Structure 1
Amino acid sequence: MALFIRDAEVDALAEEVRKLTRAKTKTEAVRDALQARLAEARRGMPLRDRLARARALADAMGASDPAFDMKSYTDDMWDNA
């Protein structure tokens, strides 16, 4: 989905960020700026909310396999490296 910047001030800010960060495009500059702002906002979330998000992600993965042997799996990884 496209994002169109129709505000001259926002466009100028995006261009300034692009230049200062040496991003190749405004899209790259805006993406990086939004990712940085999102990370900052997440760091400011209360621990309770961050943990709830982590639990939801873990729950979405499903139950673990009790028969899974992590040592064997890790040994196989290192032997094939």
Structure 2
Amino acid sequence: MAYNIKDRDTDRIIRELAALKGKPILDCIREACEHEIQRERLKTPLWERVQPLLDRIARAPRTGLTPDKAFFDNLSGDA
């Protein structure tokens, strides 16, 4: 089965990769696709990556203070 890459930039990138690796173009395309498939399968969903931070924030002690204009002015250095 043959592939015909009509996009110049894509063709240039494929050829550059093949030249750098010293491998045939088809081998480089296959490897790149296999690596990308593996990367996608191993990806951790955003929610799972953020959940530990949310849990940590939820465990933080409450100060009982309410942020007001003076609080935000102090943060920005306008106080």
User: Counterpart in 2 of 1:6?
Assistant: 6
* 2:41 corresponds to 1:42: yes
Instruction: Give secondary structure in 2 for the equivalent of 1:14.
Output: helix
Instruction: Give secondary structure in 1 for the equivalent of 2:11.
Output: helix
In the alignment, the residues of structure 2 paired with residue 11 and residue 45 of structure 1 have an alpha-carbon distance, to the nearest angstrom, of 31
Q: 1:41 offset after TM fit, Å?
A: 0.7
Gaps spanning 5+ residues in structure 1: where? 47-81
Identity, % of aligned positions: 24
Q: How many residues align?
A: 45
Q: What amino acid does structure 2 have at the position aligned with 1:40?
A: R
Instruction: Give secondary structure in 1 for the equivalent of 2:6.
Output: coil
TM-score, normalized by length of structure 2? 0.50
Over the aligned positions, Cα root-mean-square deviation in angstroms equals 1.5
Q: 1:7 offset after TM fit, Å?
A: 0.5
Instruction: Give secondary structure in 2 for the equivalent of 1:20.
Output: helix
Q: What amino acid does structure 2 have at the position aligned with 1:41?
A: E
Q: What amino acid does structure 1 have at the position aligned with 2:26?
A: T
Moved over 2 A (4+): none
Structure exhibiting the larger radius of gyration computed from Cα positions: 2
Gaps spanning 5+ residues in structure 2: where? 46-79
